[in-house]
Amino acid sequence: MGHLTDAQFKNIIETDEEMSGEAVEVLLATDYKITQHQLLFAKSRAFDLTPINIKRCMVTETTYSKLDKDFCKANKVLPLGFAGDHIIIALSNPFDLHVTSKVHEISGMKVSVLLGLQSEIEKIVDDKGDQHQAVGFGDVVEALGADYESEEDIDEDDFSDEDSAPIIKLANRIIEEAYFSGASDIHIEPFEKETRVRVRVDGVLLNRLTIPTAASGALLARLKVMAQLDIAEKRMPQDGRIIFKQYNKRGVDIDLRVSTAPLNHGEGIVMRILDKQKSTLPLPALGFSDRNLGLYRELIQRPYGMILHCGPTGSGKSMTLYSALNEINNSDICIRTAEDPIEYTLPGLLQMQMQRKIGLTFASALRAFLRQDPDVILVGEIRDRETAGIAVEAALTGHLLFSTLHTNDAPTTVSRLTEMGIEPFMISASLICVCAQRLMRRVCKSCKKNYMPEGNQAEIIQRALSWTGKVPGVNEDGCPACGGNGYKGRVGIHELMATSEELIKAINAGEEAAVIKRIAMRTGMMTLHQDSMLKVKEGLTTMEEALGTVPPDMEEYEIDHNV
């Protein structure tokens, strides 16, 4: 802090309640010889606000979309961007509380305040500043260790301890900004000379921040403390959970599923964001085609049997299962769930969190549920033979059971259960349906451009749907609505394989997945590829995104399918 401690600064600003912010700054500059940068960080600590290097900001076409430029000039405010329902602004005088109130009234958004130097804010608002990179996630967080003109602006020792204020703020800002940007995961990845922070937005990993190695160790330790993990154990992977509400003052009510792993240049952390304020979506909003939606709604009303969802991590399985349970949930039935972790809390559901350290696994939870008279059971994942066996038995004894498996498509789920040691006749007797799914990015509605596909693209969509016509494409420049990406949001694609008499015979005969897939398609199943092409036809996504998510079916599966 230079020549002034936090206690001294707080004492000065509390000495005379009527003293203006400018008068306090003059007093500090003249009597205490405090530089502008030292004062900036003193104010940030006193008011628990983040400083930012305004020199890295520039005016874009969206800068003054919510706040008029004349208002910004008069109040020395610089709009930096938007994050969810928040508008991020920079100002120099945190004493003037009515400015943030005005910003809230004018914009109709919640206000997140960052601190900047008044001279730098005035330069940009008055169009006198140099052109620099646009402000972004990295600039907001980088201000905690900003590269200002003097090395005395921040003491590097502040970043060596996981309990120091800058490290605590850095950890919080990384999580908050990832949440406000709509990210599903945060990756903190160590390399030889730096540590990289990336976030996954709409299924795509985006670079957000580079942290020097001097600060990365303390950051990782801080996150492990928040997740209640052993900070001394760096040789073994660990799993934990952060209840973020108790660590922030913005009311961000999220949990994070934390996984650490020892890597060649240190520990890496991946955090899955679980938004507790986010509600489940109705089934029609998940991307089901009309045929699949009607069939799935019919199948989940069955009194007993097994409904399985398959796909990789992050393919939307949990959301679909929650939506299905929400649809059938009423006061007449008892629904029990065994989850790891509990991602959403739904009224009317009795949910159990797995605790593997004490022996509370999916198998033991399932055994307990069967003694508690449930009608519907959700098992988070079938991972082993024991869980699979109990799940099949539950489905055969009058219970409707939902669960997930990690397989590529619906037909291979039967092979996976067989490999786990489940007899084919048990599978065919208990299975109602298997739903394989993926998530694809939606093309931006505001800036998409339609074109007529040619060559290989035209041939692929013709084979899949027996259809030709214009399809959407990405606008390379994007627009403010999608942040210049060309995509915004995601939509699900599904491969719904319902059991039939012919399919049951094939399962009992031990047929391989390729034969089961041909039979399922012959009886009406639409493959993941066909459903992805249907989304292209409907203008929801692009050919590039669809083919990048699911490859085309092999020619042996090409049959006449009337969509």
pLDDT digit string, tens, across residues 427-436: 999 999 999 9
Q: What is the pLDDT of residues 508-551, one digit of tens each?
A: 999 999 999 999 999 899 999 999 999 999 999 999 999 999 99
Which residue shows structure tokens 């050919």?
Answer: 543
Is the separation of the CB atoms in 102 and 145 below 8 Å? no
Q: What is the pLDDT of residues 262-273, one digit of tens each?
A: 999 899 999 999
Q: Supply the DSSP symbol for 95.
A: T
Banded pLDDT at 291 (limits 50, 70, 90): very high
Q: What pLDDT score was predicted for residue 256?
A: 92
Q: Which of 5-9, 231-235, 558-562 has the lowest mean pLDDT?
A: 558-562
* Dihedral in degrees, nearest 10, Cα atoms 195, 315, 542, 516: 140
Banded pLDDT at 562 (limits 50, 70, 90): very low
Strand, coil or helix: what is 407? coil
Q: Is residue 14 over pLDDT 60?
A: no
- What average pLDDT does the structure give for the chain? 83
Share of the chain above pLDDT 90, in %: 46
Q: What pLDDT score was predicted for residue 11?
A: 57
Partner residues linked to 197 by β-bridges? 188, 209
Count the alpha carbons within 13 Å of 327 in the hemisphere toward its beta carbon: 19
Q: What pLDDT score was predicted for residue 61?
A: 62
Per-residue pLDDT, averaged over 169-189, amounts to 89
- Residue of 62, 245, 72, 45 whose CA lies nearest to 143: 45
Banded pLDDT at 69 (limits 50, 70, 90): confident
Q: For the whole model, what pTM was predicted?
A: 0.68
Six-digit token string for 83: 């994050």
109-142 burial: b if 16+ Cβ within 10 Å, else e: beebbbbbbbebbbbbbeeebeeeebbbbbbbbb
Q: What pLDDT score was predicted for residue 262?
A: 94
Q: Is residue 3 over pLDDT 70?
A: no
Q: Supply the DSSP symbol for 355.
A: B
Q: Which of 64-78, 262-276, 282-296, 310-324 has the lowest mean pLDDT?
A: 64-78
- Residue of 26, 236, 200 whose CA lies nearest to 118: 26
Q: What is the pLDDT of residues 393-429, one digit of tens each?
A: 999 999 999 999 999 999 999 999 999 999 999 999 9
Banded pLDDT at 66 (limits 50, 70, 90): confident
What gap in Å lies between CA 562 and CA 545, rounded to an integer? 23
Banded pLDDT at 105 (limits 50, 70, 90): confident
| Pairwise pLDDT comparison (81 vs 519), residue with the higher score | 519
- Residue of 83, 14, 73, 81 whose CA lies nearest to 47: 14
Is the separation of the CB atoms in 360 and 338 below 8 Å? no
Banded pLDDT at 145 (limits 50, 70, 90): very low
Q: What pLDDT score was predicted for residue 248?
A: 79
Per-residue pLDDT, averaged over 39-47, amounts to 71
